[in-house]
Structure 1
Amino acid sequence: MRQDGLTKLLLFVIAVALVAIAVRPYVDPAPALAQASSAHAFYIEPGVQMLRYPDGTGQVYGKVVVDLRSGKVWGFPTGTPDPYPSNPLDSKPTTSRPFALGKFAFEDTEK
């Protein structure tokens, strides 16, 4: 008899827990988020800037991009004042490879 009462009690506890799990989305629904976090949190500075190579060997037109996760600042050469990489002598699309310009110490803002 004691075994039967314990079994019924455990089944009742399990049933209540399952009902609580099933009812929770209706009582306290999760908010719908219209904006998902981006995979790459970059800020792209508007316009084209004259970028200096860190070693001082030259300058080139390019876009300034800040990685908001790490604070690193990158320069993407465009070669011309155009806002995209281009080569006037070649009709194929050009790929711009970044070079490091510096770093913002975002972690110091928490001090």
Structure 2
Amino acid sequence: MSTLRTTNVLLAAIVLVLLALVLRPLRTPEPVLAQSSDTDYYFEPGTFLVRAPDNSQQITVYAKVVVDLRNGRIWAFPTFSTAPYPADPIYSKPQTSHPFELGRFALEDTKKFSPLSTDH
């Protein structure tokens, strides 16, 4: 009789621990981040009609614009359509988009001015 009671108590303890593990995410769910805060790139929403400054691409092309937050360089990844991913209606296989540089933001200049300074 004692072993049956011990077995039932252990099984009940196991069930309670498993129940607590299952219900924990319902009480405090993990946050979901669409874009991590520690990324070094900013992806501009949507696509834009852009032109390569050195005319290495077509006259104008739809592209996804990306800013490298480490150095301020601005890149365009051609999508060839208004879709947010590279798509070519002629080819049915997935396309790879190779970037070209559009320009650069001088991010280091933002540190030159004090927020209290009025002589910009």
Give TM-score scaled by structure 1 length: 0.63
Aligned length: 75
Counterpart of 2:23 in structure 1 is: none
Q: Specify every segment of 5 or more residues in structure 2 that has no aligned partner in the other structure, as ranges.
A: 1-35, 113-120
Deviation at 1:53, TM superposition (A): 1.3
Q: Which amino acid aligns with 2:42?
A: Y
CA distance in 2, matches of 1:36, 1:83: 21
CA distance in 1, matches of 2:67, 2:45: 12
CA distance in 1, matches of 2:38, 2:54: 35
Give TM-score scaled by structure 2 length: 0.58
Deviation at 1:55, TM superposition (A): 2.1
Q: Alpha-carbon deviations, 1:33-61, whole Å to 9, x = none?
A: xx7734xx100000110011112461100
CA distance in 2, matches of 1:87, 1:64: 18
Counterpart of 1:48 in structure 2 is: 47
Q: Which amino acid aligns with 2:52?
A: Y
Counterpart of 1:59 in structure 2 is: 60
1:86 aligns with 2:77: no
Bigger CA radius of gyration: 1
CA distance in 2, matches of 1:65, 1:75: 6
Structure 1's 110 and 36: CA in aligned 2 closer, same or farther, altered over 3 A? closer
